[in-house]
Amino acid sequence: MSIQSFGFSAKQIFWSNILLIFCCAFYLAWWLLAFKPSGAIRGMKTGWLLIPAFAAGLAAVILAVKGIHSASIKAALFPNGLLLWGGIAAYLILLAVTVLLFKRQVTTELFLIVGWAMLALSEINALYGLGRFSHRPAVVFAVVIGVAALISLVCYVLYYKLGDRAGYFDGMIPLLAVALVTAGISIAMAA
């Protein structure tokens, strides 16, 4: 099956995933250079990598939202509104837990982890509703997204408690998880 056979909504979701993978690649390249335990390269020598990361990420979100909202969903894994309101509630709860219980300073990564999980689950919901994924693969991807988000949250909490070298590798794990899960969804869509 090729992406030419996709309807408008599925194409939007597919291309948003490709853009998100590019976003992760540029962000990871920046991380590898700017946070290297010895010989880190700072400033615009690496900072420019965040420009295509931001542009690809923003475009990915816009395309995904367009694809999700334009989908003529016949069935749903998750009730309408649950993912949006659940994501907002999850963010606020995790914000409180990480700050108050784990004494973790707030950074953008918490928002990105929860936002990605919410968006990815919304994509799976739409793809299931469009008939692109049957029930079993949709549930498997939902579980995989949950596991990837949980692993990313553990990395988020641990980051400042680790030394330079361990923190360097810890910071890569969420980016790799998002890229791999997103690539898996895209490959499954095209299969």
Segment 86-114, tens digit of pLDDT: 999 999 999 999 999 999 999 999 999 99
Average pLDDT for 148-171: 96
- Compute CA 56 distance to the chain's CA centroid, rounded to the nearest angstrom: 13
On the 0-12 / 13-18 / 19+ scale of CB atoms within 10 A, 91 is middle
Tokens of 40: 């880190």
Q: What is the pLDDT of residue 1?
A: 53
Which residue reads 């690539």 in tokens?
A: 183
Residue 151 to residue 45: CA distance in whole angstroms: 30
Q: What is the pLDDT of residue 103?
A: 94
Tokens of 126: 């739409």
pLDDT tens by residue, 46-68: 999 999 999 999 999 999 999 99
Residue 154 to residue 162: CA distance in whole angstroms: 12
Residue 166 to residue 41: CA distance in whole angstroms: 18
pLDDT at 81 over 90: no
* Residue 151 identity (one-letter amino acid): I
pTM here is 0.93
**SS3 sequence, the chain?**
CCHHHCCHHHHHHHHHHHHHHHHHHHHHHHHHHHCCCCCCCCCHHHHCCHHHHHHHHHHHHHHHHHHHHHCCCCCCCCCCCHHHHHHHHHHHHHHHHHHHHCCCCCCHHHHHHHHHHHHHHHHHHHHHHCCCCCHHHHHHHHHHHHHHHHHHHHHHHHHHHCCHHHHHHHHHHHHHHHHHHHHHHHHHHHC
Residue 111 to residue 179: CA distance in whole angstroms: 17
Query: Of 175, 117, 168, whose CA–CA distance to 146 is shortest?
Result: 117
